[in-house]
Every structure is written in structure tokens, then in C-alpha cells.
Structure 1
Amino acid sequence: MDALYFFYAFLFFLLPSIPSVFSDSGTVGVNYGRLGNDLPSPPQVVQLLKAQGITKVKLYDTDSTVLSALSGSGISVVVALPNNQLSSAAASQSFTDSWIQSNILPYHPNTLVEAIAVGNEVFVDPQNTTSFLVPAMKNVYASLVKYDVASSIKVTSPVALSALQTSYPSSSGSFKSDLVEPVITPMLNFLKQTGSYLMVNAYPFFAYSANTDKISLDYALLRNNSGNVDPNNGLVYKSLFDAQIDAVFAAMNALGFNDVKIVVSETGWPSKGDENEVGASEANAAAYNGNLVRRVLTGGGTPLRRNEPLNVYLFALFNENEKPGPTSERNYGLFYPNEQKVYNIPLTAEGLAGSPSMMNGSKSQVVAQPPSSVGQTWCVANAGAGEEKLQQALDYACGEGGADCGAIQPGATCYDPNTVEAHASYAFNSYYQRNARGSGTCDFAGAAYVVTQSPKFGSCEFPTWGN
């Protein structure tokens, strides 16, 4: 196929899910936490990041082994000055001078330190460190200026959505009144003056799991839905993620800071949770993160700031077995500690071309493309979609879709195991392979997704492209 034709055809396929195809695409990074006793070494992690095409990572400290491992990798990194050092950083620039000398200068620029996150969710810190935040940020910046690296390293701080007093509708977003004068306004002033950005930790999972009677799962997972209209300005929101971010933008606008940008410092969805953690599942985690990556990398901002690209850091790189709290806290990882994927989603723009879209179920816009150069791929059923949805998609694939379903008929080679998931997987894969693994051909309205290892259902062998 002519390369130019493929480009325009692929762009046409993406049109329904791109707010503005002329907007710059955003970036996707990942949070690298290390609260686990079975995690790979930092050099191994760097090789994993490079193999996955991940070029941005965020840390929760300035660990020397990690920063050394990142040296020369081309991966930019956000480091952190932890909450327990805020009071010292606020009290004296000599402290931040020493901190920069010890934790930044020995590594940068061979290790590309992009920003320093001063504290993390300080407003909910039980140690009451809020009053130290802005003075600490100013001292860190002054130290960067002193050592002539302020032009290449931003100073910021991640805030939780709990800093908002009002978040619905998004246009009514406002910060908690007791935070505005003491810390929010001075912090935003500092960010504006230094050309930095506000970091925001946004988790639609928490809002959904606590309000399943009011929030639809499709809306939370960035899947195709009718959307919600903001009654104040008429803007239509197709995802809870966009609504949350615009609530923060509205809160900043209300204070006169409509030119300060946002970076989403944490967002994710757990692949496992306790019984009361509604929605925590592998299928939902794959849908949320996969759709969010597609949303970010195909361009377009939020309804309130359409022309500003979204830049996000997914949480998290690994499942961390030493994290306290509910089961979900230990199951946000994209990877297991053995470096195997928890689920298969694209993490780069290159990966999007051959990935399934869980945003909609259209099968009319098919773009043929050759097999991925990185190895074979197959299409399998998403058990989390439920048997009714799988059966509907199975009927389509074997009927109008033209999949070869002879092998799953009674007595045939792939009839056993006789389950909807197994039969649907075979039919979906046949449809996917027959359409040359075209983008969008392994979707079925969220009932299917792509895997990189041959499916195992009894002794059945799944065909690949060209067979």
C-alpha cells in the first residue's frame, strides 16, 4: 500500500476519537516506585523502559543507583524532594544548596533531570507540612539559579484532587478556601513567574468506585458514551478524566491563572482490588490506561483548553508488594516484577498503529497493515466484557464479519473448551488476522484486545497473519 495513502487512511480511522487532529500530541511517562522486595535492579529497569519506548519517568526520591542507571539513556526524569525535608528546605537556602549539590549536580545533564517535584500531595500530609511548601519551592529554585541549571530544570509540586472544594460541574471548579491565600495563590504565582507547571494527581477510579450509581463505567474508562454536558458553558465531556482536569483548570482560572499549564503527575487504574473496590480488574485497567494513552498521543486538549496537549505520567511501572493499604495499592503496575506485562496496551505513538481501540466498536473503518515488526500478535476475547457482549461480538465475527469459524463448531479441532470466551477468542483472532491486523479490527466494542503471546485454549492453535 502506498505510504501516503496509509497515513491518510489511518488518520481517517482516528478522527472519531481525536478532539482536534491539528493539535500537538501529548506525552506519556510512567511513575517508577520502588516499594517492593522483588523488583528488578535499576539498570534492568532502564533497559525495560528503553525496550518499551518510554522516554519519561517520574521518581519519588533521588536514589543514586537509579539516577546513575538513567545516565546517557535519553530518558528524562522528574525527581522528588520528599515531604519530610520540606521544613528544612523552607528554612534555609543553604539546605537546598547542599541538596542540589548532592542530588542533582552529580548526575545532570548526563541524566536528564527535567523537574524537581517539591513534596507530594502536601495538602493531605498528616505531618502538616503545607506552610513549608512555597518557601521550599522558592529556595530550591534559588539554588538551581545559583548553580546555573534553572533554565533546564523546572520546580513544581504534585497536588491531589482533594485540594478542590468544588469539582462538579467542571466549570465550577474551585480550590478549598482555606488553601487559596496561604498557599495556592503564592504557588501559582511562583509557577507562572518561573515558567513551570502544576502537577496534578488524578484518579477517575476513586470517583467511579465511590459513585457507581452516578458515574458510568464507560465514562470512567474513556470508552464511547453519550457524554455529560456542563450546564454552565455547554461543553460536552466524554470522560471523567477530562472533567477532573478541567475542574482544576477552572479553579486556576477563577484565581486569574489561566496561563499556567498542568502535567498529570499520576493517573492509573488497579488491575486487582478488594471486594469493596468496585471496578478494580485487569480488563478495566487495560481499558483505562490503553484509552488514555491513545487519547494523549493522538493529540487534543481538554474541552476547556482544547489546544494544550495532555502530558501524563501513568501510575505505575510495577506492582509493588510492600505498599500499605488496600489490595489495589499493590496492583497499579503496568508490569509484574518479572518484567512481564500485566496486560497489553500501547505506550508509544508507534504502538498505536497496531493496537486495539477500546473507545468504540466501529468495524466499518478498517485500515490494513502488515504484521508488526516486533513479532506476532493475536486477538483474544476480553472476559471482563461479559458473556452477553462476547456472544454478540462472536455472532458478528462469524456472520457479517466473515471470520473462519469452522474450527469452533461441534466436533471440530477448537470446539473444546466449549466456552464463549474460548470460541469468541478464536473468532476474533480469525477476523483480526484476515484483516491483516488492521487498526481497529481487534476491538468489538471493548470485547477484545491484542496480545503478543499465542493464546492457550486447550490444544487449539490460533492462526497468524498470512496463514
Structure 2
Amino acid sequence: MAHSLALFFSLLIFILSITSEAAPSIGINYGRVANDLPPPSKVVQLLKSQGITHVKLYDTDATVLSALSNTGIKVVVAMPNELLSSAAGDQSFADNWVKANISAYHPATQIEAIAVGNEVFVDPNNTTNYLVPAMNNVYNSLKKLNLHNDIKISSPIALSALSSSYPTSSGSFKSDLVEPVIKPMLEFLRKTGSYLMVNAYPFFAYAANSDKINLSYALFENNPGVVDSGNGFKYNSLFDAQVDAVNAATSALQYGDIKIVVSETGWPSKGDSNEIGASEANAASYNGNLVKRVLNGSGTPLRPNDPLNVFLFALFNENQKPGPTSERNYGLFYPTEQKVYDIPLTVAEVAAAPSSEVGKSQVPTKGGTWCVANGGAGAEKLQAALDYACGEGGADCAPIQKGATCYDPNTLEAHASYAFNSYYQKMSRASGTCNFGGAGYVVTQPPRFGKCEFPTGY
């Protein structure tokens, strides 16, 4: 009997481990290139309140790792690109780094993976040759501490590592990367039972080819789909097509057994005038529909039985990131911890949300969208946008004048919301007419401030 019970529990543990590894998951990237973010202790409370159980970092900051201790949140940490040459050339450097940054915190902080470098192939400092030797040395360090079975090692690659990605079936790596680094890296991942991290951004492809790519295809919305002429599969989202392009590329090198984890993906809520498609509505649509798509448990057309694991980019808007405006506006939250837009992040939230609310793109729908003020934009920005809407914009602001039907509640956010919506409806809900420099955003439920009803069209 004891033998039977032991066998039963061993089998149960084995089944649970397989189920856990195969389960889809949504995590989030916690970047900190900003000077206005809440302290890590508050960030951890935010993660827990949102039901986020996986987080990816870009370093091994002691304060952050300590804050994540005993939370049950699984953590991916990173060795920055600038340390790769030292880790590659000196085993003792890797040993000391792992002791100070990994074993000092694990297992109280549940470190599940180390990202050795990030998008190394496009690093202007040319660290490509150090990548695989560094990965090997970090692995050897983990092995010395008997942590190699608990913690995976990988390295996020950008889609620019591919020489071809369309059609999906033609996916292939750049020839100058294959022998020096891609094959050795894939061999390392196979040997250690790890996975390939991929940063995939349909936004970049859409922004560069908006005349050829259907926005709904990029946002996981209803669309005719794209049939791959090479493999015959029909793709209903650009995201799936991008992931399978990498799957096709690994398969072409006989490494089709390597699982892919999407280490970054997202959509900016704001961008420069030339960044087509960057808006709160589209960001909400992309990320909301992505969560729903991932948590339904299905794989891609090429890997239908391989559930997706995805890390959204990013937790916060980061005000010190260089580059175009979009780079500072990928966050799901403002530094105040207020949501930039509302999307589900867990299976329970996806199940509870009406399908029309999971993702909302900035595509006009008859009577179905309204524009409201973003309270987190600040009083100065809201007032300037309100003045524009009621002045040059030609919005009907009579109802928010003192004594009129929509004067109460007498708050800047309520008045701005009414004016923004008036302008938005006047412009036939055209794309971009609810932005107001980040002061407004689109909703699909009729807003209500006091007893004031918001019109749906003119």
C-alpha cells in the first residue's frame, strides 16, 4: 500500500510539473529607466494586486530582488550587455556574479531564468562574439551551486536577427549570424533544456508598412487573415506570424524542438506624428486582445500544442528612455500607479470581460466609442486641451458652462471629458481625434459624470 501511495504521488508530481511547464502565462517587463517611479516595495504590491505572477527585469538590482522575496512571483533577471565580455573570458567573474546576484536571493526570490544580454546582435558595442561563451560560463556557475535545474539561461533576440520573415514559412536567420552564434546558442539551449527568448513587436512592422498591413490584423481583431503561400496556414494575427517566422527559422537549422518565449511585446499609447498607430486605444486593443489570445491556451499554427508564454512591455511609462516619443509610452501604468488604459491580465478577468471590452482599437464604430479625459495627464495639459477643444476645435461646450446641464460635477476632468467627446464625435470618431497630446483616450462604454449624458454622434 505504501509503495502504491508513493508511486501515486510521484506520478501526480510529474503530471503537475508537466502541466505547469505547458501552461500559458502572461508576465510583464519591469523597466526602470525613469526618475519618477514608485519604490520597489510599492511596485510589488501593484503586481500582486493585478494578479501578475511573472516579471522580467533588466538587471539584478538588490532592492528590487529583495522586494520580490517571498511573494511567489517568478522572476527573470538579466546580465547586461556590458558584462558579457568579462563573463565570457573569466569563469571566476561569472562565478562571483552568480553568487552575488542569483544565489544570494534564490529561492526566496523565485528566479526562474537569466537573460544573458539583450538583443546582443544589434548592440552597437558589438558583443555578439561574447554571447555563447558567457551563457556557458553562467551555466557552469549555476551548476557549481546546483541551481542549473531551477534556473534557465537564454538571451532575447530581436526580429531583426531574421533575414526573412514574410511569408512566415520563409523565416530564416541572417547568414552572417548562423554559424558564429545562432547555431551554438540553439545547441546550448537544447543541451540545457532552455528556450529561445524573442522580442516581437507587430507595432514596428505596422508603423513601417501601414499601407500594406491591416490594422485589425496587427491588433488581433476580426480580419480576413493572411494565408501563407509556403505552408498553407492561415494567420489571423501579425503576432502569430512573427512568432512562427522564428519557429520556421529554427526549424530550418534543425532546431525546431526549441521552445520560444516572447520576452517582450507591446504597443505604445502615444507616439510622434510619424509613428502611425501609436495611441491609447490601439495599445489597449493590442495588449488586451494579446492577453486573451495567450490565455486561451492555444499555440501558433506551426506549434499548435505549444502554449505561449509572453512578457508584456512594459509595466510603467519610462520618462528617461531615449528615442521617439513611443519609447517612453509603452507602460500599462503611469508612475502614479494609475492605469494608462484598462485591460484584463488574468484568466479570471478575461472570462469576466465582455469580448467588446477586451481590446479597443482606434477604428470608428457607429455609436460605439466615446472620448474622455485622462486624469493622470495633469491639470495643465487637461486645461490646454480643454481650451483647444472649446475654442479652435469647435466643440459644443455650452452644456458645461455655469448653470447648464453638464456643469456639475464642476471638475476639470469632467468638463474636459465632455469637451473632448464633443470634438471627437464632431470629427466622426476619426483615428487620432481623441488624443489631445495624451490628455484623452477612447472608451467603449458611455461615460457618465453626475447626471450628464454624453452624445454619441452629430
Shorter chain as denominator, the TM-score bin is: 0.7 to 0.9
Task: Give 1:121 deviation, angstroms.
Answer: 0.1
Deviates more, 1:415-424 or 1:145-154: 415-424
Corresponding residue SS for 1:301? coil
Q: Distance in 1 between matches of 2:338 and 2:368?
A: 31
In the other structure, the counterpart of 1:390 is: 366
Does 2:443 match 1:460?
no
In the other structure, the counterpart of 2:328 is: 330
Query: Residues 194-233 of structure 1 correspond to what in structure 2 (within 5 A)?
Result: 194-233=192-231
Judged with a 3 Å threshold, the aligned counterparts in structure 2 of structure 1 residues 359 and 187 are, in CA distance, closer, same or farther, namely farther
In the other structure, the counterpart of 1:43 is: 41
Judged with a 3 Å threshold, the aligned counterparts in structure 2 of structure 1 residues 360 and 291 are, in CA distance, closer, same or farther, namely closer
In the other structure, the counterpart of 2:24 is: 26
Query: Residues 314-325 of structure 1 correspond to what in structure 2 (within 5 A)?
Result: 314-325=312-323
Q: Which runs of 5+ in 2 are unaligned?
A: 1-20, 371-403, 408-414, 426-441
- Check whether the contact 1:291–1:358 (CA below 8 A) recurs between aligned residues: no
Query: Residues 69-218 of structure 1 correspond to what in structure 2 (within 5 A)?
Result: 69-218=67-216
Corresponding residue SS for 1:196? coil
Code of the aligned partner of 1:384: Q
Q: For residues 3-35 of structure 1, what are the alpha-carbon distances to aligned partners after superposition, in whole Å with 9 as ceiling and x for unaligned?
A: xxxxxxxxxxxxxxxxxxxx9651000000001
- Check whether the contact 1:223–1:359 (CA below 8 A) recurs between aligned residues: no
Aligned length in residues: 378
Query: Residues 355-434 of structure 1 correspond to what in structure 2 (within 5 A)?
Result: 355-358=353-356, 384-386=362-364, 389-391=365-367
Q: Distance in 1 between matches of 2:343 and 2:444?
A: 9
- Check whether the contact 1:391–1:424 (CA below 8 A) recurs between aligned residues: no
More helix by share: 2
Task: Give 1:449 deviation, angstroms.
Answer: 4.0
Code of the aligned partner of 2:452: C
Corresponding residue SS for 1:334? coil
In the other structure, the counterpart of 1:248 is: 246
Corresponding residue SS for 2:310? strand
Task: Give 1:357 deviation, angstroms.
Answer: 2.5
Task: Give 1:349 deviation, angstroms.
Answer: 0.5
Judged with a 3 Å threshold, the aligned counterparts in structure 2 of structure 1 residues 139 and 220 are, in CA distance, closer, same or farther, namely same
Query: Normalised by the size of structure 1, how large is the TM-score?
Result: 0.76
Q: Which runs of 5+ in 1 are unaligned?
A: 1-22, 362-381, 395-411, 426-446, 463-467
Give RMSD over aligned pairs.
Answer: 2.8
Does 2:259 match 1:264?
no
Code of the aligned partner of 1:213: D
Judged with a 3 Å threshold, the aligned counterparts in structure 2 of structure 1 residues 413 and 151 are, in CA distance, closer, same or farther, namely same
Query: Normalised by the size of structure 2, how large is the TM-score?
Result: 0.78
In the other structure, the counterpart of 1:55 is: 53
Q: Distance in 2 between matches of 1:384 and 1:166?
A: 30
Does 2:252 match 1:274?
no
- Check whether the contact 2:33–2:320 (CA below 8 A) recurs between aligned residues: yes
Q: Distance in 1 between matches of 2:327 and 2:95?
A: 35
Judged with a 3 Å threshold, the aligned counterparts in structure 2 of structure 1 residues 25 and 107 are, in CA distance, closer, same or farther, namely closer
Code of the aligned partner of 2:150: S
Q: Distance in 2 between matches of 1:280 and 1:310?
A: 25
Code of the aligned partner of 1:460: C
Task: Give 1:460 deviation, angstroms.
Answer: 2.0
Task: Give 1:65 deviation, angstroms.
Answer: 0.1
- Check whether the contact 1:274–1:326 (CA below 8 A) recurs between aligned residues: yes
Judged with a 3 Å threshold, the aligned counterparts in structure 2 of structure 1 residues 393 and 329 are, in CA distance, closer, same or farther, namely closer
- Check whether the contact 2:288–2:358 (CA below 8 A) recurs between aligned residues: no
Judged with a 3 Å threshold, the aligned counterparts in structure 2 of structure 1 residues 420 and 51 are, in CA distance, closer, same or farther, namely closer
- Check whether the contact 2:368–2:444 (CA below 8 A) recurs between aligned residues: no
Corresponding residue SS for 1:140? helix
Q: Distance in 2 between matches of 1:393 and 1:194?
A: 50
Judged with a 3 Å threshold, the aligned counterparts in structure 2 of structure 1 residues 123 and 418 are, in CA distance, closer, same or farther, namely closer
Greater relative contact order (Cα < 8 A, sep 6+): 1
In the other structure, the counterpart of 2:350 is: 352
